[in-house]
């Protein structure tokens, strides 16, 4: 078996020890004689799996007791609708900070249910930076403030938590959740698609403060009401059982590594290694403002764009895959989520150094 270094933005690389445990337990989970994929979501075996996953996630993030943890489906994109349906009253308004494609999509969806105020935007510089606290034009009467914590396409990330006063702060944390410690108490609601740092595609995490539950507007579909899921322990309908199981293994893996402080240190080391090369080189360019750079997604271009296809082809031969950048930015993008080992980033840096030597 020959595994590659997978720099995909998502679905993304998973920890090898987790994949190995999934393989070993696939046919018979803990002597039950069946796979987790075959279990009833209402049976004791799976209820225990889900309970342990929630317990470990709460431990990792220090989730306060007055927050519910929900295991849902539909990805972050469904949360673009669920958030305003649950938090935005009829005739109300919300503040959105636009820092990339997914932030724009979230705001566009919210406009279907109420008024959206653009509290700040970095569109004028092609989303290459995160607006500062001083730039935020926040309305103290807003129902909530929405941010996208990490911008996968443009490679930017919040390195501060906006102060929104008494207005609940909502965070789409899909692409940097569990990559660093996070003060959950600073947020009213956090949501994240699983397919980057948590587990397989199909699971969505929602962490929501108790006082924000039970506000869903009348006439909304039952499955889009946070209260329904909270009252039924995320099992009003069949949850994504296998994805929850794998996520639980990832949570345990991160705890064994030393929790999120240790994970953050590893992510800083990887990011500094790759950004260090980009900053030293005249052959490569990084379009993001240094103060806003993401530790998870690193976009870069070649000075000579005619070499892009050659770079990608040779990288693939070297076992470095999924490096093509998004069309909005062009060039390349290396996604270096939690499960990407330092050795993978070092292999990429070595390849890039050699490629520059040969073509620069």
Residue numbers annotated as active site: 102, 172, 196
How far apart CA 124 and CA 116 sit, in angstroms, is: 19
- Catalogue the E-assigned strands of the chain: 5-6, 67-72, 93-98, 115-121, 145-148, 150-151, 156-157, 169-172, 189-193, 204-209, 284-285, 297-302, 320-321, 332-335
The C-alpha angle 251, 256, 260, rounded to 5 degrees, equals 65
Kindly report the number of other CB atoms within 10 A of residue 252's CB atom: 18
Q: Enumerate residues 6+ apart whose C-beta is below 8 A from 304.
A: 359
- Bridge partners, residue 68, by sequence: 208
The Cα-based distances of 157 to 132, 135, 197 in angstroms read 12, 16, 15
């Amino acid at each position: 078996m020959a595994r590659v270094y997978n720099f995909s933005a998502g679905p993304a690389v998973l920890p090898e020890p987790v994949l190995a445990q999934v393989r070993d337990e696939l046919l018979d989970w803990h002597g039950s004689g069946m796979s987790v994929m075959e279990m009833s979501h209402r049976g004791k075996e799976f209820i225990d799996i889900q309970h342990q996953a929630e317990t470990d996630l709460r431990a990792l993030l220090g989730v306060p007791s007055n927050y519910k943890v929900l295991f849902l489906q539909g990805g972050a994109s469904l949360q673009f609708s669920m958030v305003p349906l649950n938090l935005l009253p009829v005739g109300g308004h919300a503040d959105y900070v636009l820092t990339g494609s997914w932030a724009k999509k979230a705001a566009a969806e919210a406009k279907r249910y109420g008024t959206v105020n653009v509290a700040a935007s970095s569109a004028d510089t092609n989303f290459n930076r995160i607006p500062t606290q001083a730039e935020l034009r926040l309305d103290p009467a807003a129902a909530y403030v929405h941010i996208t914590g990490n911008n996968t396409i443009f490679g930017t990330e919040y390195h501060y938590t906006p102060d929104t006063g008494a207005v609940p702060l909502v965070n789409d944390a899909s692409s940097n959740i569990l990559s660093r410690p996070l003060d959950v108490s600073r947020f009213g609601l956090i949501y994240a698609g699983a397919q980057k740092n948590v587990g397989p595609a199909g699971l969505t995490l929602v962490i929501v403060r108790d006082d924000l539950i039970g506000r869903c507007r009348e006439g909304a579909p039952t499955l889009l009401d946070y209260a329904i899921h909270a009252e039924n322990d995320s099992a009003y309908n069949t949850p994504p059982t296998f994805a929850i199981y794998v996520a639980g293994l990832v949570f345990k893996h991160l705890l064994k590594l030393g929790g999120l402080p240790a994970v953050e240190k590893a992510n800083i080391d990887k990011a500094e290694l790759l950004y260090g090369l980009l900053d030293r080189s005249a052959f490569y360019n990084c379009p993001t403002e240094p103060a806003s750079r993401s530790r998870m997604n690193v976009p870069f271009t070649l000075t000579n764009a005619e070499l892009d296809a050659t770079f990608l082809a040779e990288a693939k031969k070297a076992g470095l895959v999924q490096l093509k950048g998004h069309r909005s930015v062009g060039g390349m993008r290396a996604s270096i989520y939690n499960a990407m080992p330092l050795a993978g980033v070092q292999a990429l840096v070595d390849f890039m150094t050699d490629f520059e030597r040969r073509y620069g």
